[in-house]
A and B are shown apart, each in its own frame.
Chain A
Amino acid sequence: MRSQQLKLFWIWLVCILATLSTSHAADVDTAEGIAYFEKHIRPLLANRCYKCHSVRTKKHEGGLLLDSRAGWAVGGDNGPAVMPGDVDASLLIQAVRYTDPDLQMPPDKALPQDAVARLEQWVRMRAPDPRGDSTVERARRDDPSDPIAGREHWAFRPLTEQPPAIALPDWPRSTIDTFIVAQLDAAKLQPAPDADRRVLIRRVYVQLIGLPPTPQQVATFLDDGRPDAYERLVDQLLNSPHFGERWGRHWLDLARYADSNGLDENFLFREAWRYRNWVIDAVNADLPFDQFVLEQIAGDLLPHDSIEQRDGQRTAAGFLVVGPKVLLGNDPKERRMDVADEQIDTIGRAILGQTLGCARCHDHKFDPIPTADYYALAGIFTSTEVMERRYMLGQQRVMERLVGLGPDGDETDGAYEKYWRDRPKLQERQKHAQSALDLLKKDNAKALEALAKEHADAIADGAADASQPKEKRIASQKTLLAELNAAVAKPPGIPARAMIPNDADAPADESIRVAGQFDHLGEQVPRGFLRVLSDVTAEIPERQSGRVELGRWLTDVDGGAGQLAARVLANRVWHHLIGRGIVRTVDNFGRTGEAPSHPELLDYLARELIDSGWSIKNLVREIVLSRTFAMSSRHDDAGHSLDPENRLLWRAHRRRLDPETLRDSMLSAGGELDLKPMQSSVWYLGDQATAVGDNKNRRRTDFPNRSVYLPVIRNDLPELFDVFDFADPHTSTGMRPQTMVATQGLFILNDASVMAAAEATARRLLAGEITGEQESKVDRMFEVVLNARATEEDRNELLAFISDFKNRLTSQGDSDADLRAWSMACHALFASSRFQILE
């Protein structure tokens, strides 16, 4: 009876306490209070207090924990650390004020005044604190990093199939158009009229192959009266080898491709170009995207039927190796985590549109990615090696992992490596052999004997034999010395190699790193995938990293991340072709990204992509054949006032030419562009031992080849790239910045390469097939540079300029005034907005 009563009492007490604590939370933890905590208090505690007062660091000095609400509420040896609402009674405040000599926290250095003030304010606000019990991982509804609740976010939901409403039934040419026009109609907007066929052909050429059409190509298209003329043109462009140069480059932006390491020590990646060309070839071959991803993540581990296939797959896996790494100075354990982080961040952004890197130090603040999921992935990459210690040009250093290509690749690479490893010994031998020869000549038998004892390998057998005549001994020694001299002077050629990862000797699960600190080990988590996307557990074979499984999971439509990956990729293709993504934050499909403007269309495109067997070309084709793609960019008052950013696509977006197209178009107008693919464009920089930043023979840009082949040296981009918003090759970039800065104007107005291209164009005009009047030359110039017809006004203005310029130059004694005047006119067209901005 009594015990029964006692039990009831306890139950009652527990209930009361529970109610109390809930009401406290409800009362205090307003959005504002939580925001204050998150902004000011959590970082402060994490930064200055957790080291000694948290469960994860397995430290609770004075019995106090500050990593949970319960921690400070119960308090340590001296009682509760915080009394909500009572600043002066809170021990935490007393400690941080540093006024009591016996109670001063943090012990190393007082907090700055404003931090103390913020803690006081927080206590005054009755200490809002959303943190749960840190000893138990509880899935909380309001925890943004909860992977199960997070499945409700639009990007993680299964693809839907929603037929669009029917509006303006005569307008659409394709399903895509029905989605677009439905929303336009709902907003009472009209789609823009079709673009002029000249505008359209320029647009489709630039978007598909990165080059404008020649006047002949324009004429052929305009003359083609067949109803499927445009479709034929599109197919021709899709099959052009230049398609891969354009669309491969889009992927190279995401893959943060570069020919050098960047960051602190900018060593050359001599073999990176093979990866670049693999991407271009893969895109040209329309390698299904799922396979494309798998080979880049685990190509070195996949089975193969031939050496060519093996080498292709190995080269693809260079994707993991080509990232920037801090090479000197940091702890190898720290570097391992940094390298894995860089890989996770790149894969997260490029393939999943997620900011996974956020979860390195804490559960993601906005997206359903707990730290445990990050380290589940990290285990895969810390079980992967991308660096190795190699001997290069007489130095030993940690560098990207290389493997020889071809049937005897291992041997040639091994021999090359061995040569550089042994070279110091060889030089030593050479030195002693020389001494031995000198001693022989001087008949210094005693010293020779001593030398022979120490360095027997530096003396030829014939020379060591004292019974032989001196001349003979000298001759033998000379032969040996000559051999050694030759060996030192002639290192073996640099073999064909690829940058590839491999699985570590002992792949293992990774421990959570508390607050991201590499030396602060928390709980170990099994290698695996993101729980927000699937319940699949990674079945990783013994002694493997798990990259193969990850590579498959990323595009697995049923059990993995495939539906999200398809959305992300479809959106990227749309972004490149239309000018803005359906989700404009193309690299961020998380909660802080933008929502799709046309969610059903995005799902439709993603589904098309999957159903076509992940064919990028198929998706490109479908989009460029839509009427949406073919709209004009003309202004419309109604559209502009209702939707100034053109999210609903009431017209085509105008777009700046990217630097590659800018350069290639100028070279092409002058007939100077070499359309052949190129292999390495950094071979002249030698092997790896030189930091590019210090190299006086820096990268060249004077190749007449397409810009995709120019060297991409991190922190030393070709000036044109640098100025015109090329993707920073240190990080994965889905959308290049679009800026307008004075250096661009200066480049176009004054750079020698622009003027040279203008002159080449002028030469062609003057020497070429145009025999007619000045007028027809101006017309031709417009055709060549702008794919446009000159208006009367244009023509007159150009002619007046040319004639005026010619006169002025002639009067200044210029003997080649005609050419120069025409060059300056071509230059002006290159500088004009109609050249630089695609309609």
Chain B
Amino acid sequence: MKCHRFIQTTNRRDMLRASACGFGQLALAALAGQGASAAIARRQIPHLPARAKRVIFLFMWGGPSHVDLFDPKPRLNVESGKPLLGKSVGSDRDQLGEVMGSPFRFAQHGDSGVWMSELFPHLSRHADRMCVLRSVHTEGAAHGEALLRLHTGQANLVRPSVGAWVSYGLGSENESLPAFITISPPRGHGGVQNYGNAFLPAVHQGTAIGSAEIPISQAVVSNLVNARLKPDLQQEQLKLIQSLNRRHLREAAIDQQIEGLIANYELAFRMQSTVPQIMDLNDESQGTLDLYGVGSETTDNFGRQCLLARRFAELGVRYIQVSTNYTWDHHQKVQEGHIAESAKVDRPIAGLLEDLARRGLLEDTLVLWGAEFGRTPMAENGDGRNHHPQAFTMWAAGGGVRGGLTYGSTDDFGYRPVENPVHMHDLHATLLHALGLDHERLTYRHAGRDFRLTNIYGDVVHAILA
């Protein structure tokens, strides 16, 4: 069930008070269920002491198999080929199919002994930085629904995405950059809705760089470059525009819209020079490029994405998502598929953690890794695995989480969580909490009600926070 629409915390008087304090436009906009007029998200003070200032979410589109990566299940191999029915906590349905063992070797890593399969040799060196959540669960057996739940908490209604909530809650740390950037986002399975602002003011919408199906080296931010005018000429043109606008404003005496438009052109023009500078990796040392695997065929693309994420993190962007292409959906040949896909991301992710740590950024950057769901312990098409939202693994590092911790567990087959289940809503609540945001207080008035990311759900998983 999903109560889409309720929770009232702010009263009318508060709204009116805000209005009297000079945010008339904002208050009106909120009352009327529309966005405010501001070019950049105002910086906000968090509700709680913050452990992290920003988030980098590494999204593995398609759904990696938890039982092949982070959640070793020896019984899968023992019972490989036999029906799961009647064996597992969750096996109360008629046709579950046959168990399929994992082809990969697992080992414990670091002082903490975090389990990982052989597919992440680089990442495993960071085991003591990782907090592995083995009991994540969600709804949505199809990608579209599950992606929307992962990114917005809901599927049947359009709701703001996590990054938009973070932008709304914390605002921007950088006057020339949006607070929410999504690198190579998926176009399908909800597409822009997965980084949309829904009813939140549009300034909180994720700014997309490229899309999942094109290499990041070819990605551009839309309309960042004028194809006809060189910058010096464009600056002349901008001068004319602003002069016309200021004359209009003078005639109007007071007008927030005209003022807003003037400020907006200034910001847009600034972004034209700052964003390409950020996107250009030429000023990175060879050592750094190597760390991320930039320049090596397999890892180049994801390496560039991760490096870009670090650059945005450095500049104060609050929420950065990095997405793989739709390549983790291994209904067949899970072995080959997982070998190939892990190789693309392992070194870049390890490089990102290392680089963030070296620069002192890891302590206040929450890195989160995961997908819309995991994969079944049962075989599909002989050598593949199907979608599995009932239980899967995500992990976090940095930004106030307890490194080296393995939290929650699944049954002998990885079918259902048995200990400390973490629902997607709980994960969202915890993520906000780490940023100093109380998920019950981070609300927005829309259509007469106050909405939150976690709807009426969500428990903060305090145990994973340092």
B31 touches A746 (CB 8 A): no
Task: Give chain A residues whose Cβ lies under 8 Å from the Cβ of B252.
Answer: 633-635, 654
One digit per residue, 1 when the CB lies within 8 angstroms of any chain A CB and 0 when it does not, for chain B 209-237 equals 00000000000001111111100011011
Judge if A366 is at the interface, Cβ distance under 8 Å: yes
One digit per residue, 1 when the CB lies within 8 angstroms of any chain A CB and 0 when it does not, for chain B 142-168 equals 111111100000011110000000000
* Chain A: CB-nearest residue to B9: A39
In the complex, A39→B36 CA distance in Å?
27
Q: Per a CB cutoff under 8 Å, which of B3, B24, B238 touches A749? A: B238
Task: Give chain A residues whose Cβ lies under 8 Å from the Cβ of B340.
Answer: none
* Chain A: CB-nearest residue to B460: A112
In the complex, A188→B368 CA distance in Å?
59
One digit per residue, 1 when the CB lies within 8 angstroms of any chain A CB and 0 when it does not, for chain B 394-426 equals 000000000000000000000000000100000
B258 touches A837 (CB 8 A): yes
B35 touches A739 (CB 8 A): yes
Task: Give chain A residues whose Cβ lies under 8 Å from the Cβ of B234.
Answer: 749
A740 touches B228 (CB 8 A): no
Judge if B335 is at the interface, Cβ distance under 8 Å: no
In the complex, A218→B29 CA distance in Å?
35
In the complex, A585→B15 CA distance in Å?
14
B258 touches A516 (CB 8 A): no
In the complex, A75→B432 CA distance in Å?
37
Q: How far is the CB of B248 from chain A (nearest CB, A)?
A: 5
Judge if A515 is at the interface, Cβ distance under 8 Å: yes
Number of A-B contacts (CB under 8 A): 274
One digit per residue, 1 when the CB lies within 8 angstroms of any chain B CB and 0 when it does not, for chain A 136-174 equals 000000000000000000000000000000000000000
In the complex, A737→B223 CA distance in Å?
22
A793 touches B34 (CB 8 A): no
- Asked if A326 meets B145 with Cβ closer than 8 Å, knowing A357-B5, A515-B1, the reply is yes
Interface-facing stretch out of B53-61, B268-276, B281-289:
B268-276
Task: Give chain B residues whose Cβ lies under 8 Å from the Cβ of A592.
Answer: 8, 448-449
Judge if B303 is at the interface, Cβ distance under 8 Å: no
* Chain A: CB-nearest residue to B146: A329
Task: Give chain B residues whose Cβ lies under 8 Å from the Cβ of A355.
Answer: 5, 447-449
Judge if A588 is at the interface, Cβ distance under 8 Å: yes
In the complex, A361→B29 CA distance in Å?
28
Judge if A824 is at the interface, Cβ distance under 8 Å: yes
* Chain B: CB-nearest residue to A728: B158
Point out which of A47, A330, A640, A739 has the most chain B C-beta atoms below 10 A from its C-beta.
Answer: A739
Judge if B457 is at the interface, Cβ distance under 8 Å: yes
* Chain A: CB-nearest residue to B207: A743
In the complex, A113→B7 CA distance in Å?
21
* Chain B: CB-nearest residue to A730: B158
A752 touches B460 (CB 8 A): no
- Asked if A516 meets B3 with Cβ closer than 8 Å, knowing A588-B448, A694-B187, A750-B224, the reply is yes
Residues of chain B from 417 to 466 with CB closer than 8 A to chain A in the complex: 421, 447-449, 456-457, 459-460, 462
- Asked if A828 meets B244 with Cβ closer than 8 Å, knowing A739-B37, A741-B39, the reply is yes
- Asked if A837 meets B244 with Cβ closer than 8 Å, knowing A361-B3, A584-B32, A715-B190, the reply is no
Interface-facing stretch out of A175-183, A262-270, A284-292, A418-426:
A262-270
Judge if A774 is at the interface, Cβ distance under 8 Å: no
Q: How far is the CB of B208 from chain A (nearest CB, A)?
A: 10
In the complex, A38→B6 CA distance in Å?
11
Judge if A716 is at the interface, Cβ distance under 8 Å: yes
In the complex, A565→B236 CA distance in Å?
52
Residues of chain B from 33 to 48 with CB closer than 8 A to chain A in the complex: 33-40
B145 touches A328 (CB 8 A): yes
A744 touches B5 (CB 8 A): no
Q: How far is the CB of A45 from chain B (nearest CB, A)?
A: 11
Judge if B315 is at the interface, Cβ distance under 8 Å: no
A741 touches B203 (CB 8 A): yes
Task: Give chain B residues whose Cβ lies under 8 Å from the Cβ of A742.
Answer: 39-40, 178, 264, 267-268, 271
One digit per residue, 1 when the CB lies within 8 angstroms of any chain B CB and 0 when it does not, for chain A 180-207 equals 0000000000000000000000000000
B227 touches A693 (CB 8 A): no
B33 touches A735 (CB 8 A): yes
Task: Give chain A residues whose Cβ lies under 8 Å from the Cβ of B50.
Answer: none
A833 touches B4 (CB 8 A): no
B142 touches A749 (CB 8 A): no
A635 touches B253 (CB 8 A): yes
B28 touches A584 (CB 8 A): yes
* Chain A: CB-nearest residue to B262: A833
Point out which of A262, A691, A716, A832 has the most chain B C-beta atoms below 10 A from its C-beta.
Answer: A832
Judge if A365 is at the interface, Cβ distance under 8 Å: yes
Judge if A438 is at the interface, Cβ distance under 8 Å: no
Point out which of B228, B236, B255 has the most chain A C-beta atoms below 10 A from its C-beta.
Answer: B228
Judge if A537 is at the interface, Cβ distance under 8 Å: no
* Chain B: CB-nearest residue to A729: B158
* Chain B: CB-nearest residue to A834: B248
B34 touches A735 (CB 8 A): yes
Task: Give chain A residues whose Cβ lies under 8 Å from the Cβ of B147.
Answer: 264
Interface-facing stretch out of A76-84, A445-453, A797-805:
A797-805
B35 touches A737 (CB 8 A): yes
Judge if B93 is at the interface, Cβ distance under 8 Å: no
Judge if A755 is at the interface, Cβ distance under 8 Å: yes
* Chain B: CB-nearest residue to A793: B247
- Asked if A266 meets B261 with Cβ closer than 8 Å, knowing A355-B447, A750-B224, the reply is no
Judge if A747 is at the interface, Cβ distance under 8 Å: yes
Judge if A473 is at the interface, Cβ distance under 8 Å: no
* Chain A: CB-nearest residue to B227: A752
In the complex, A730→B192 CA distance in Å?
12
B191 touches A828 (CB 8 A): no
Judge if B189 is at the interface, Cβ distance under 8 Å: yes
Judge if B140 is at the interface, Cβ distance under 8 Å: yes
Q: How far is the CB of B110 from chain A (nearest CB, A)?
A: 29
One digit per residue, 1 when the CB lies within 8 angstroms of any chain B CB and 0 when it does not, for chain A 345-362 equals 000010000010110111
Judge if B2 is at the interface, Cβ distance under 8 Å: yes
B448 touches A330 (CB 8 A): no
Q: How far is the CB of B158 from chain A (nearest CB, A)?
A: 4
Task: Give chain A residues whose Cβ lies under 8 Å from the Cβ of B265.
Answer: 745, 749, 831
B156 touches A326 (CB 8 A): yes
Q: Per a CB cutoff under 8 Å, which of B4, B36, B140, B233 touches A805? A: B233
A744 touches B264 (CB 8 A): yes
Point out which of A592, A746, A827 has the most chain B C-beta atoms below 10 A from its C-beta.
Answer: A746
* Chain A: CB-nearest residue to B229: A824
Task: Give chain B residues whose Cβ lies under 8 Å from the Cβ of A693.
Answer: 186-189, 191
Judge if B201 is at the interface, Cβ distance under 8 Å: yes
In the complex, A824→B229 CA distance in Å?
9
- Asked if A112 meets B462 with Cβ closer than 8 Å, knowing A338-B156, A592-B449, A832-B244, the reply is yes
* Chain B: CB-nearest residue to A588: B448
One digit per residue, 1 when the CB lies within 8 angstroms of any chain B CB and 0 when it does not, for chain A 247-270 equals 000000000000000111110000
B39 touches A329 (CB 8 A): no
7 A-B residue pairings within 8 Å (CB atoms): A592-B449, A736-B34, A741-B264, A752-B227, A798-B240, A805-B233, A824-B237
- A-to-B contact residues, CB < 8 Å: 38-39, 43, 46-47, 109, 111-115, 262-266, 326-330, 338, 341-342, 349, 355, 357-358, 360-362, 365-366, 513, 515-518, 520, 584-588, 590-594, 633-635, 640, 644-645, 654, 656, 691, 693-694, 715-716, 719, 722, 725, 728, 730-731, 735-747, 749-752, 755, 793-794, 797-798, 801, 804-805, 808-809, 820, 824-825, 827-829, 831-834, 836-837
Other A-B pairs, 5, CB within 8 Å; known A264-B142, A330-B140: A587-B33, A593-B448, A656-B257, A743-B222, A793-B247
9 nearest CB pairs, A to B: A264-B144, A745-B268, A592-B448, A693-B188, A329-B142, A635-B253, A328-B142, A739-B202, A715-B191
